[in-house]
Structures are given as C-alpha cells and as structure tokens.
Structure 1
C-alpha cells in the first residue's frame, strides 16, 4: 500500500440512480419507399433513423403514390402534419430484385428535352440512344438525366454532344422499380439461415442496438390489415430483443369491412385481439390525400406524449386528427355518430369521430377488449405505461446485472425506483407506485442461483371514459322567490 500523509478523498457510486430516458412512442414503420429517388439505394432492409422530413426524403425518396410506396404516407403525416420526430423506417423494396426492364422505348425530344414518365426509374440502368440501332450516348457529354419533383426522368441534350439539333425522338432502355413485386412475406421477413441476415419485421431487434432507442409503436400502414402481417407485428411487440415491449398499431381491412357493423366480426375472425395491439378503422382523408388511421394514430400518440414530457399516461383518444372526413376502402364517406363510434370502442376498435371540436381520434381500448378486461391490458394508456415503465427499469438497472447481491445493491434499486415512482405520482402520471424486495418472493434457493426479484406496484390513471352527471330539480331553491 502506498504510504499516505495528509488529507485525501475517494468516491463511491451514487446510491440513487436517475432513470434512463426512453422515447415512449417511437414509431418503427415497415413498408416500401421510392428508393430510386434517394441519395443512395442502400437503405433496403435496414433500419433508418430520421428526425426531419428532409432527412427521410434524402434517405428513402418520396412519392405521392402512397399505394405503391407506403412509407411516404407516414413521412407526410408524421413530419408535415404532426411535426413529430424521430421515426425509424424500414424499406423492404429491393431495387436489385423488385424491378422490371423497359427496352428501346421511344420518347419525344422537344427543345432538347425529353421526359420519361414511368415512375421508379433506376438512373444507373438508363441507356440513351438516338435510335434502337445506334450506340449508347454518353451521360455528362451528350446529355444529362435527373428527376423532377414528380419523379419523372428529365433528359436534356447538351450543347456540343452527339444529339443533333433536329433530333425528334430518343430511344431509352432502363430498369424501374416494381412495388407490386413486394408481398406480405417481404414485410414479415425472416432470417437467412446461411448469412444470418434479417429482413422485414425481424429487423425490429436491430433498432435498439443501432440507435439506443426502444421501439414504442410498430406500424406497417398499407400492410397491417393483412392478418399474417398483423400476427407477426403483435408477436414482435411483446418480445423486442427478448426484453422490451411496444404496441402494434394495425388497421382493419376497410375494403372487407366497409360498414362499421362489419368491423368487430372481421376483427375477431382474423384474431386482432392482442393486448399489445391497437385496431384502427376506417381511413381518414385530408383534402385529396387519404391516410390509414393507424398512421394518424401514431402521430396523435407521439404528439400527446410530447406534450406530457414523453410520459405515455395520457390517452390519445379525443385528441385532434389531421383529417376532414372518414372513408371506407371504396373511399365512400363514413359518417359515425357518438353511439356508433362507441359501439366500435366497445369492441376494442379505435375510430374517428367528428362530434365536438372537429375530427378526433376516438377510443381508449386495446384490441384485447372486450375479451380481456384486465385494466392493464384493455386500456391503451395503461398498457403503454406498463410498457414504458418496464422498458425504463430494464435500461436503468442493466448496469447492475452481475454485481454482488448485497444490501447495498438492494437498497440502491429500491430507493432509486421509489424516488422515481414518487416523482411520477407527484406529477399525476401515476396514482401511486412503490417497489419492494420481499423475502417470500426471494427464497434462498433462488438467491443462491443468482435470481433476485423486486416487486413493483403501480397504478397509472385510467381514462375518464364515461363521465356521468345527474340532474335533479331541487325544490328548496324555490325559497329564493321569497327572499328579502
């Protein structure tokens, strides 16, 4: 030991730990993107974290053809309508395989400019000739090629190049994206047994290792009405990285269930009944654009969380949508009164209601309701609070895994958690909460095996879903007629 003479200090770890922050409603969205319009074409079956609309367009491209490129709907809604970030996108459309070839197509050349109106053109495959028998022209010397704002390819003849002034047509050959090649199997994905490469929904497990953000919502607008896709979404929601939980936000099929009375039967028949699942119906238009309700559910939810310091104790129900109506799969107007909307809510379906204050998201219940009435599984905000608190505990106390099981460890966990839970209670996010280290839950045999159990009690507030006021004529007030 070094000889000591004088005064010295040392430090010990803080016995009370601040909780690790999580993004409660972080959306992870699966679908297809116009990757040909992106800065690179590498973002295929790869989680992409973006914080702005510009970042999303740069990474994945953008098109108004939402039926073909389903991720673009979410980009527009989340960043432009709700102004919320971040989002993790996963594009499964692969330009190497999901494509078609157009050979020797003749396009008119006017004032040295020609246009290819086919969407999804892969510029690196473009070959331009004067005619089908001619030699390929040289890009940058004979012409330039770029996309306009509508995704068309604009070919411009360069002065001094090989395109003569009187040329009337050009002949082009190119590959273009074919979104119709993408199927529900691509969204579901899997793991290659040889390479170990994950695709589709299997990539949910890469989000936290890549970005240190825990998924809060799993979405696939345009695909989640497929029962096979929804089944995998809800399975993944309950077991992210073997540790975390999220909710799967899904849509009922607005084409198969175009009347509100058809939706509950469709929901039950197709097993949309999980406590970690939300079912949305119908679609909502804004001007000429039509959004899946799941897309706007995510926007409303994230905006509500943001207004409450990223604590998901407030229900997204009765919060404003960015919508001017409601439509079914045939784009026919759906008009729901409170009684009809409440009928859907009573079947575990979130809907849209225009009653007081404009168009609102309407519904507090998870897909498990009414089959499961356990409050932690049937109310969306309560379920999300259990997810969020569980995820936060894992992130905060992971650093203590493998530490000695002694009194200091127990006291640190209990004291820190109780302080945090008391703080949540003080701000109204919980009605109460506590953690206990109970002897009856920690038998000697388990402690000897390194198993330590803490019991966390918590009571998130349930939504005031049914407010009832009783009116009574009080005859005693008649006496005021005779007051001096």
Structure 2
C-alpha cells in the first residue's frame, strides 16, 4: 500500500435488506447449486440446509448467475433479494463425486498470477504442474489457489517456492462440476437401503427431524414443469413424516405452452390437478433476469404470511410483484389482460397482470374446476387447513400416551376452543370449534387406545368478485336542477 496522508473514502457493497421471517410458509426447494464455492463441499450434498439470509445461503451453497445450471441460485435471489423472506430450506442434489468432468487448461500468468477460465472447479482436485506437465507443485508451498468474487479460480505463485518467478504459464489439471449430468431422477431421489442415505425429494421427510421445521411450500424451479417430477412433489406434500401436510408450487412448461389458451389443456393432459398445487404460468422477468414463476410466487406466499402474523389466511393473489414482464421460455414477452388472466384462473392456474403495477393473479388451487369444495379450491383456505392440522399435531404431541381421562379430553377441547376464539377475534378465521362426542368414541376404541375429536373450521374465502351495481337516479338530477321544487 502506498504512503497515505489525508482523508480517504471507501465504499461497501449495498447490503441486502434483512428479510422478514415466515414460519407458516417455509419453502423447501430442491435443485442444484455451485457447491464448489461452499464452505463445506460434502455437507452441501443431499442435505436440508436452512438459510436465514442471503449471506448464509451463499456461504453454505455458493452462488452463480447461471440459473439454468444452478437452479437453487434463482430461488435464493427470489427469496432474499427480490421478495425478502426467510428462512428458506435448500436441498442440493448436485454431487461433486458423481456430477463432474475432468479437464486440463494451460494457465497464462501475469505478474505471478493467473485466473482459470472455467466455472465449477473443485478445489481439492486441482493439480498444478509446469508448462510441460512434468513437475508437480505443492499448494500453499509453491502456489496459492482461491476463488475470486465471480467464482473463478486464481492461482498465485509464492515467493521462495519451486515455481520460478519468471514462469509465464502452468498446466492445470482439475475436476469441475457438470450440472448437465443432473437428471430428473436425481431431483426425485430415493432411499439407499445399503448406505441408509436419502436423496432428492425423499429428503422432504428429513426436514422436520433434522431442523424442527414443518415444510410449508415445496418447489423445484427448473424441474417442476416435468410431469414425472411434479407427481412426486405432490406425493411428498402429503403425510410428511406420516402426519404433516403442505402445498407445492409448480410451473407449466412455457416452452410448449406459448398461449394462455393452451395452458388448461396442458394442465389436464399432464395431471397437474392436485388440491395441494399452486400452478403457475408463464415465466417472469426482473430487468434482464428470467425466473420460473414458482420461485417468485412461493416467496411471495411466504412473505404474505409473514405480513399477517404467520397465519396463512390471506391469498397471495393481487399482491404486488417486483417483476418487469411476463415471458415465455424463449424470453418473448406476454401481456395478459384481466379477461385472459381470469380464463387461466378459471382453470386453476395462477398468473400475473399489470394493473397499477404487476400483481399475482389467482386464488384457485390446481384442483379447480374439478372440485368446488372451498377447502380444496381456494389457496388460502387449503393452506389454513394444512397449517391448522400441523399446528394441532405439534401442540398436542406431548399428550400422546397420557391416560385417556376426562382431564386429557377437557384440556385439549378447552385449549383448542380458546385458540380458535383468538384467531376469530383477530379476524383471521370466521370461527373454529372442537368437540369430543360419545358417538365418535365407542368404548371399544377407547380400550384400543384411540380417542377422536371433531373440529369445525371456517376460513374466509377470498373476495375475488366484488360487484358494485350502478343505477341512474332521475330524482338526483331533478334535485340538482330545481332544488326542492
């Protein structure tokens, strides 16, 4: 550093605004990340990783703007930088032991330093040799190797090492990540009975045991438009750990569906018709960045929960979006008017419209119009039911194996009715009431250790159709012209 005398200014990069915290709509996102940049390479493979901030996500998973190859990075950007919501649980399936390719490059040095023009280099695999490939040098003795801010590997000569200072080039051998080797089966995953390891979507069942958090929304941007993956996501949204339920956010393939009129046919043909699915079309854009709509909608849904006391009774529909356009896979822009967007809504598809700014548009799950049952049709009601059931399990799990006495029954009934009254008083639900009925609990069931309650819940449907009837009143005209005459 040169000699300094005076006053100097330095600048730090703009900080990311701290995200709001949502615990009812925690996203669990399965995909790929540039884990060669993470702090723990193997610890970032097929393991639920929770992040409460942008910095924490990058530290544990790495980051790249190449979202086509590193799909989790898009979700990081959507949740932490665009919407501002946390926590988010990431599951990376890109395995450096499997999804890799060997490569060799000749590195040109300038001022005893050079940068490899290859992304995804696995640092532990790097071998540095002289330009002829005869002499192998030792890391941290002859050279240092570190990633720069863009994720590229920089090799620097160490003074006093074996590499001559005047060296103009080196031969570098290495392995690098190859995301193209990740296929749908890696995302779907499974359980290996030999190793006892879970992979891919099968790790949904490991989220609560490992982290103590119940999944709220499951998504796989970049893969969920594939029916084989989507069907597994839907299965994994029900009976998680044998008890919990949540929703998923899926995409329609805008490579093939280029018109809003074709979206319902694609949806039905590919069986995207679950009550637990929020189905999205098309993609969206922020500046020059293109996002799968599921990334934005899932983050927006979690954010909406956080703005409403973490009770998922408010629909994400008609909430503002930080997007600049809706686009197809080929980046061509799509502009829907309200009638066209309503056509998609009538088929159980969420979209976006530009009315006083961009807004999410759609209250129906993918089960609509196949079902008109409010608890399965409307997104906020479906989510309230799942959230209420999950909360009941977590609250009263401590009561399991207690004596089946009147005191046990009374404590659950009283506690639940008090809880329901509280939500009702705050206007978050229309009402909730739980009962223990004799006809539901014959003595044979009680002797077998089973007791059963019935709880009725009324969540508010979204007011998606507000009508104001205008009528011309001649008497008003008469009063205006002639007064009281």
TM-score range, shorter chain: over 0.9
Distance (whole Å) between structure 2 residues aligned to residue 22 and residue 294 of structure 1: 17
RMSD: 1.3
Distance, in Å, in 2 between the alignment partners of 1:473 and 1:22 is 48
CA distance in 2, matches of 1:470, 1:37: 60
- Aligned mates of 1:258, 1:311 — CA distance in 2: 36
Are 1:90 and 2:106 matched, yes or no?
Answer: no
Instruction: Tell me if the contact between 2:22 and 2:87 (Cα under 8 Å) persists in the aligned partners.
Output: no
Aligned length: 462
Write the mapping of 1:278-427 to structure 2, written as runs, cut at 5 A. 278-356=278-356, 358-427=357-426
The offset of 1:68, in angstroms, is 0.6
**d(CA) in 2 for partners of 1:73, 1:339:** 30
Contact 1:364/1:380 (CA < 8 Å) preserved in 2? yes
Write out per-residue CA displacement over residues 176-212 of structure 1, whole angstroms, 9 at most, x where no aligned residue. 0000110010010001122221111111111111111
Stretches of structure 1 that go unaligned for 5 or more consecutive residues are 1-20
Quote the offset at 1:407 in angstroms: 1.2
Please give the alpha-carbon distance, in whole angstroms, between the structure 2 residues aligned to 1:25 and 1:369: 22
Confirm or deny: 8 A CA contact 2:22 2:85 kept in the other structure.
no
1:150 aligns with 2:134: no
Q: Which has the higher contact order (CA 8 A, sep 6+)?
A: 1
Alignment correspondent of 1:4: none
Correspondences of 1:84-483 after superposition (within 5 Å): 84-103=85-104, 105-356=105-356, 358-480=357-479, 481-483=481-483
- CA displacement 1:337-391 (0-9 Å, x = unmatched): 10111100110001111122x1111110101011111110010000000000000
Aligned to 1:7: none
Q: Distance in 2 between matches of 1:90 and 1:186?
A: 11
CA distance in 1, matches of 2:321, 2:458: 29
1:266-315 alpha-carbon deviations (Å, 9 max, x no partner): 11111100001111111111111111110001111111111100000000
Alpha-carbon separation, structure 2, partners of 1:109 and 1:479: 91
Task: Report the secondary structure of 1:410's partner residue.
Answer: helix
Instruction: State the shift of 1:429 in Å.
Output: 1.1
CA shift digits 1:130-178 (9 cap, x unpaired): 1233211121122111111211111112222233233222111000000
Task: Give, in whole Å, the separation in 1 of the partners of 2:317 and 2:133.
Answer: 64
TM-score by length of 1: 0.93
2:77 alignment partner in structure 1: 76
Q: Secondary structure at the match of 2:433?
A: strand
Query: Structure 2 length as normaliser, TM-score?
Result: 0.93
Mapped partners of 2:165, 2:156: distance in 1: 12
| CA–CA separation in structure 2 for the residues paired with 1:266 and 1:133 | 55
CA contact (8 A) 1:98 1:178 kept: yes
SS at match of 2:86: coil
After TM superposition, give the deviation of residue 76 of structure 1 in Å.
1.0
Q: 1:402 to 1:22 in 2, by over 3 A?
A: farther
Report the Cα offset of residue 479 of structure 1. 3.7
CA contact (8 A) 2:22 2:86 kept: no
SS at match of 2:334: coil
- 2-structure distance, mates of 1:450, 1:474: 69
Q: How far off its partner does 1:22 sit?
A: 8.9
Report how far residue 402 of structure 1 moved: 1.2
Q: CA deviation at 1:447?
A: 1.9
Unaligned runs of 5+ in 2: 1-20
What is the alpha-carbon distance in structure 1 between the residues aligned to residue 450 and residue 475 of structure 2? 66
**Residues 205-239 of structure 1, C-alpha deviations (whole Å, 9 max, x = no match):** 11111111110000111111111111011101011
**Aligned 8 A contact 1:442 1:453 in 2:** yes
Question: How far apart are the structure 1 equivalents of 2:385 and 2:466?
Answer: 25
Q: Distance in 1 between matches of 2:341 and 2:218?
A: 24
Deviation above 3 Å: which 4+ runs of structure 1? none
What SS does the aligned partner of 2:312 have? coil
- Matching residue of 2:6: none
Residues of 2 paired with 1:361 and 1:132: CA distance?
59
Deviation at 1:248, TM superposition (A): 1.1
Report the alpha carbon displacement of residue 23 of structure 1 after superposing the two structures with TM. Answer: 1.9
Give the conservation status (yes or no) of the 8 Å contact 1:48–1:88.
yes
Contact preservation (8 Å) 1:283, 1:327: yes
